[in-house]
Amino acid sequence: MSFRFEALEIPDVVQVTPTRHGDARGDFSELWRHGAFHGHGITAAFVQDNLVRSVGGVVRGLHYQLPPRAQGKLVYALEGEIYDVAVDLRAGSPTFGRSVACTLSAEMGNGLWIPAGFAHGYAVTSERADVLYKVTAEYDPQRDRGVRWDDPTLAVVWPVSEPVLSEKDRALPSLAEAELPG
């Protein structure tokens, strides 16, 4: 098997661990294979790849896009380590407003599948991190939204106390004030 799929506490969010094949030269692993993912119910069709480099202590998020450009994301840390968070914003979901998180690192080689309808963010817990994420809809600045990383109603326990934030992320609304995906 090329991948191990592990559902988190919100079962639609799935930690993905590719098999690494190594020898004296280094190692090789697949990050995405259509048949393997579809066989585990992840029927994503990716249309854009993003690469983000961040310094330690950065928090990015919590971001999402409104339909019809809502994005599912497959996230990997290619260098360094991040604490990756997904918040359920799906209307009517029994886990609405709840979050799940896991550590992603280049060393572990694991990734996280986050379906559309979730806000996504992460904290960089290493000196720096390069993060690759594949998305199921192209970026649309007109539908780009977010929720404050430290909204107390979300109760996310972040591993950084004084994060480095963008001006955009500092200005994000609380969950109660946010325009939600539906």
Which of the following is catalytic: 38, 76, 133, 139?
133
Q: What is the pLDDT of residues 144-182, one digit of tens each?
A: 999 999 999 999 999 998 999 999 999 999 999 999 997
Q: How confident is the model at residue 6 (pLDDT cuts 50, 70, 90)?
A: very high
Q: Mark out the alpha helices in the chain (DSSP H runs).
A: 34-39, 167-170
Segment 71-117, tens digit of pLDDT: 999 999 999 999 999 999 999 999 999 999 999 999 999 999 999 99
Tell me whether residue 40 is one of the annotated catalytic residues. Answer: no
Structural domain includes residue 182: no
Q: Is residue 156 part of a domain?
A: yes
- The H or E element containing residue 85 is strand 81-88
Distance between CA 156 and CA 171 in Å, rounded?
18
> Looking at residue 50, which CATH number applies to its domain?
2.60.120.10
For the question of whether the overall pTM of this predicted structure is more than 0.75, the answer is yes
Closest CA to 147 of 171, 123, 127: 171
Q: Is residue 14 part of a domain?
A: yes
Assigned token pair, 19: 């098999």
**Domain span at residue 78?**
3-21+29-177
Number of domains into which the chain is organized: 1
Our answer to whether residue 63 is catalytic in this structure is yes
179 C-beta neighbours (distance < 10 Å), count = 12
How far apart are the C-alpha atoms of 103 and 84, rounded to whole Å?
Answer: 6
Is 104 part of any domain? yes
Among residues 21, 34, 63, 122, the one annotated as catalytic is 63
- Residue 178, SS3? coil
Which of these, 156, 149, 164, lies nearest to 58 by C-alpha position? 164
